[in-house]
A and B are shown apart, each in its own frame.
Chain A
Amino acid sequence: MVDPRMMTEPVTPDWTRQPSPARWLAGELRDHLWPWSRQGMQRRGASRLVQLFGFAFAVIVSACWVLAVRGELGPHGVIAWWTGWSAFEVALRLQAKPYVKEGPWWERRYRRASPMDMVCYVGFKNLLLGAALFFALKSQGFLGAA
């Protein structure tokens, strides 16, 4: 039976069962920053090659931010890599963590993510993350010239 109260069916990721609010909050933070999950990948049978590619991509994108700090990569380069990573992260999360939050952010309700849900989630999260990193770099005098 479909639950019409949510756009997709509810799910309860294991880590959300933490009784302690502090641990749950830490889990939330980790969930936003770390797109991989062992169970999710295994359940969906992702190949080692895909996993390896994902880690390599993450390393390259992190390196891009480091290059930006060193002034060797301009803002457009960083944005291009960040967008590419975001597209990959959508695909990755749909495999590894295929859920999004439902309702108030301080509650623990989650539901299965459709591809569009995931695009919205990753797009929004990475925009905020990117803006925060850009702001930090700019305030330190990096990424000056467009």
Chain B
Amino acid sequence: MPSLPDSLKRWMRLAFLSVAVALPATAPALAQTAYEAQLPAALDTAAALCEHVPCAEVVPGATHFSERKGQPRYVEAYVERNGHRELAGYVVLSTDVTDTPAYSGKPVVTLIGLDTRGRFIGVRILKHSEPILLLGIPEAALTAFNRQYLGKFIGDNIEIGHSRPDENIIGLDAISGATVTVIAQNQVMMAAGAAVGRQVGLLEATVRPPAQFLDPGRPLDWATMVSEGLVRRLAVRPEQVGLARAAEPFIELWFGDLNHPAIGRAVLGGDGWAALRQRLGEHDHALFILRTAGRESFKGSGFVRGGLYDRVQVRQGQDAFTFRDLDYLNLYGVRAAGAPAFSESGIFIVRSPAFSAAWPWKLVFLGNRVDRETGARTFANFDAEYWLPDDYLAGGRPAVVQPDAPWVRIWKTRAPQIALFSLLLVTTALVYASRDRLTRRASRKNPWPVNAFKYAAWITSIGFVGFGLLAQPSITQVLTWFHALLFQWTWSLFLSDPFIFLFWIFIIVTVFLWGRGLFCGWLCPFGSLSELIYKVAGAVGLKRIQFSLPKALHDRLKWVKYGVFLGLLAVSMFSMTLAEQLAEIEPFKTTFLVGLFNRSWPYTLFAAGLLGLSIFIERPFCKYLCPLGAALAMPSTFRWFGLRRKQECDRCKACGTGCGSLAIDADGRIDQRECLLCLDCMVMYTDDHACPPLVSERKRRTRAGVEMTPIGTDGYFIPIRPVPPDTPPAN
């Protein structure tokens, strides 16, 4: 490599180190407001919600707000006109309706405003924990996403993606790179709107045909009812509500249908059931609940104050059914033989034609989860499904079409891109697996048989994978996986980003087969961009000012990236949030996900600085800072198939001098943790015009007029063995 004046080199080194060290250090200080914002302690419990959150922002013009009411809870907003209060709309806090988690596993806490006609008129994010929307542009992106709801009706079919007018579906634009977050947000918005809409009469409840029961006519004992699913159990463990783990459940409930004659008679006895039937209207449906463990009351104390039972509710599809004092009857005993002892019991009546026992329904226990670190309470609900078995329904269970899980929908909507991306991964792996053939076809003078594939992979990974699919793997995923491995593995979380999921399968497989080089050297969007810049700069005449650090300095600095990785891993054990902020040392988000010019200047400067530095040094970030590269380098120690070397490599410096990754030491040994599998040295290995031992053997044979044999896998010309004269000629 051409040498530069020492002073210039020193200056560049200094600039490199300052950029590398100073900018990431400034990054985490720039947190934005809604990310992990501190919510008011009384947010979940206060009756006067709007004293704690800016309700007037989501119902513009409203001056007065009611206390929370209903189940799920909402607030009425009023304007003052001519001295009179007029209803102007409704406010609902998303976590009062659903705790649907977004990508981070935590809900995006949103305040939603509706007008009296059921249209969204205001949305405000109070808090989110989305790492993907951590800093810079993020809130603006989410706010812009939410603005798309304004003016839309709560009963509209709103989905992420294209509008499909023929199917009555209104499409919303997603936030690039945060698909999971916006899919979760859409569920939250629609559930919150529907929850208020149904209670205030803006949405009509679904009407389901009543169940036609089949009575098997035999008496049922408790064990039979349990085994046949006629009574179900709903248990909440203490740790699910933030208490210390204990053997006894926080609450254990058993519940079942009472309209069905077989169950009704088994629980209440013939007379008791007949008496109950007398009290039920045409659309009334009774169910019983027993508490068999725990001290928490399922009736709660709310009904004493407002006549509403606020601990239990029934949900069927989108409909929620709550109970008032008139919907409750005492249950003094259970007749069925073998019934468990219980400490609380009751009969609740659903009074709505929307409910039908023929369809599955859920009993929901509405609780609070206490964060053990902060003491903050958040809304949490626990449910258990109930569906009468086929044998107990005339005609059996009706067909129920369950909507696809969010991750399935993502895979379906992005199927063409997923197919293309998979093709790219498989092709790259196949090309690399055929490296022996390609490197033999190439030579130092004409490296195109290898480079054509490599450059094509770079360009595709930068354009299609990086900027197009935003599928840049990141150390935050390694940290998340690490935690998931130790704490809780949630497949749906990982499946929700198909490209990253497939990329990681590719990475894991290829790291064990060949080392991290196939990903880092061929397919990492940022790594490819960095090296492409270096190559283009060299090709347009800047080769003179390109340099690499002296090997001794490189051998020291290369450890920095391992320090960064292990540091992040250690921090993640205490605070994943902090680790995610520190992971901004990766310029990936700035480069691909958010865009260089969409972030605050320190990020832009850092990413641009690293890319700018790539004009002079080959892959400076990969060599010295990348925590992901380090995380992949560590298992690369145990890759199965390494590159080839011959004994003479210990003295020859030809490959070592040409290795852009500085992965070849003075003894010709390749450090598999640093090697990026560029294959330059493998081209040399079989090039009889470049590899010194081959060159001298070629020359010797030419001089001696001996035939040139092919080069074997050991890197030498296949030896010519003279056939002994007395050997009979081959036929």
Give the residue of B640, B646, B672 whose beta carbon is less than 8 angstroms from that of A7. B672
- The docked-state distance in angstroms from the alpha carbon of A131 to that of B672 is 26
Pair A3/B647 contact, Cβ less than 8 Å = yes
- The docked-state distance in angstroms from the alpha carbon of A61 to that of B239 is 25
- The docked-state distance in angstroms from the alpha carbon of A124 to that of B478 is 13
Pair A145/B486 contact, Cβ less than 8 Å = no
Pair B634/A123 contact, Cβ less than 8 Å = yes
Residue of B486, B573, B640, B641 most packed against chain A (CB within 10 A): B486
Contact of A79 with B635 at beta-carbon distance under 8 Å, contacts A6-B669, A105-B640 already known: no
B645 within 8 A of A: yes
Pair B635/A124 contact, Cβ less than 8 Å = yes
Taking the closest CB of chain A, its distance from the CB of B569, in whole angstroms, is: 10
Residues of chain A contacted by B646 (CB below 8 angstroms): 4
- The docked-state distance in angstroms from the alpha carbon of A6 to that of B637 is 11
Residues of chain B contacted by A1 (CB below 8 angstroms): 647, 650
- The docked-state distance in angstroms from the alpha carbon of A104 to that of B512 is 9
- The docked-state distance in angstroms from the alpha carbon of A120 to that of B515 is 13
Taking the closest CB of chain A, its distance from the CB of B362, in whole angstroms, is: 24
Pair A103/B640 contact, Cβ less than 8 Å = yes
Pair B671/A7 contact, Cβ less than 8 Å = yes
Pair B640/A104 contact, Cβ less than 8 Å = yes
Pair A134/B485 contact, Cβ less than 8 Å = yes
Give the residue of B245, B372, B638 whose beta carbon is less than 8 angstroms from that of A144. B245
Give the residue of B638, B649, B669, B673 whose beta carbon is less than 8 angstroms from that of A105. B638
- The docked-state distance in angstroms from the alpha carbon of A134 to that of B487 is 8
Pair A79/B573 contact, Cβ less than 8 Å = yes
| Chain A interface residue number, banded | 20 to 34
Residues of chain A contacted by B667 (CB below 8 angstroms): 2, 4
Pair A131/B486 contact, Cβ less than 8 Å = yes
A89 within 8 A of B: no
Pair A2/B486 contact, Cβ less than 8 Å = no
Contact of A120 with B640 at beta-carbon distance under 8 Å, contacts A4-B645, A7-B670 already known: no
Residues of chain A contacted by B660 (CB below 8 angstroms): none
Residues of chain B contacted by A104 (CB below 8 angstroms): 640-641
B668 within 8 A of A: yes
- The docked-state distance in angstroms from the alpha carbon of A7 to that of B633 is 14
Residues of chain B contacted by A124 (CB below 8 angstroms): 634-635, 638
B244 within 8 A of A: yes
A29 within 8 A of B: no
- The docked-state distance in angstroms from the alpha carbon of A71 to that of B244 is 10
Taking the closest CB of chain A, its distance from the CB of B375, in whole angstroms, is: 15
- The docked-state distance in angstroms from the alpha carbon of A130 to that of B487 is 11
- The docked-state distance in angstroms from the alpha carbon of A121 to that of B650 is 26
A54 within 8 A of B: no
Pair B638/A145 contact, Cβ less than 8 Å = no
Residues of chain B contacted by A41 (CB below 8 angstroms): none
Pair A130/B486 contact, Cβ less than 8 Å = yes
Chain B residue with the shortest CB-CB distance to A79: B573
Chain B residue with the shortest CB-CB distance to A117: B637
Pair B637/A145 contact, Cβ less than 8 Å = no
- The docked-state distance in angstroms from the alpha carbon of A116 to that of B563 is 12
Give the number of residues in B that approach A within 8 Å (Cβ atoms): 32
Pair A120/B239 contact, Cβ less than 8 Å = no
Residues of chain B contacted by A5 (CB below 8 angstroms): 642, 644-645, 669
B588-646, CB < 8 A from A: 634-635, 637-638, 640-642, 644-646
Contact of A4 with B669 at beta-carbon distance under 8 Å, contacts A76-B573, A79-B486, A144-B239 already known: yes
B237 within 8 A of A: yes
A86-131, CB < 8 A from B: 100-101, 103-105, 116-117, 119-121, 123-124, 127, 130-131
Contact of A120 with B637 at beta-carbon distance under 8 Å, contacts A3-B647, A4-B649, A4-B669 already known: yes
A52 within 8 A of B: no
A75 within 8 A of B: yes
- The docked-state distance in angstroms from the alpha carbon of A42 to that of B244 is 48
- The docked-state distance in angstroms from the alpha carbon of A97 to that of B488 is 34
Residues of chain B contacted by A138 (CB below 8 angstroms): 487-488
User: Using an 8 Å CB-CB cutoff, how does the interface string of A64-91 with B read, 1 for contact, 0 for none?
Assistant: 0000000100011001000000000000
User: Using an 8 Å CB-CB cutoff, how does the interface string of A132-143 with B read, 1 for contact, 0 for none?
Assistant: 001000100000
Taking the closest CB of chain A, its distance from the CB of B12, in whole angstroms, is: 28
Contact of A75 with B487 at beta-carbon distance under 8 Å, contacts A2-B667, A2-B669 already known: yes
A2-45, CB < 8 A from B: 2-8
A146 within 8 A of B: yes
- The 11 sampled A-B contact pairs (Cβ below 8 Å) are A1-B647, A3-B650, A5-B642, A6-B669, A7-B670, A100-B638, A138-B488, A144-B239, A145-B239, A145-B244, A145-B245
User: What are the 6 tightest A-B residue pairs by CB atom distance, in nearest-first order?
Assistant: A4-B668, A4-B649, A120-B637, A2-B667, A145-B239, A4-B645
Residues of A whose CB lies within 8 Å of any CB of B are 1-8, 71, 75-76, 79, 100-101, 103-105, 116-117, 119-121, 123-124, 127, 130-131, 134, 138, 144-146
Residues of B whose CB lies within 8 Å of any CB of A are 237, 239, 244-245, 372, 482, 485-488, 562, 573, 634-635, 637-638, 640-642, 644-647, 649-650, 667-673
Not counting A4-B668, A105-B640, A145-B244, a sample of 20 additional A-B residue pairs whose C-beta atoms are within 8 angstroms of each other reads A1-B647, A1-B650, A2-B669, A4-B645, A4-B650, A4-B669, A7-B669, A7-B670, A79-B573, A101-B638, A103-B640, A116-B562, A116-B637, A127-B482, A127-B485, A131-B486, A134-B485, A134-B486, A145-B239, A146-B487
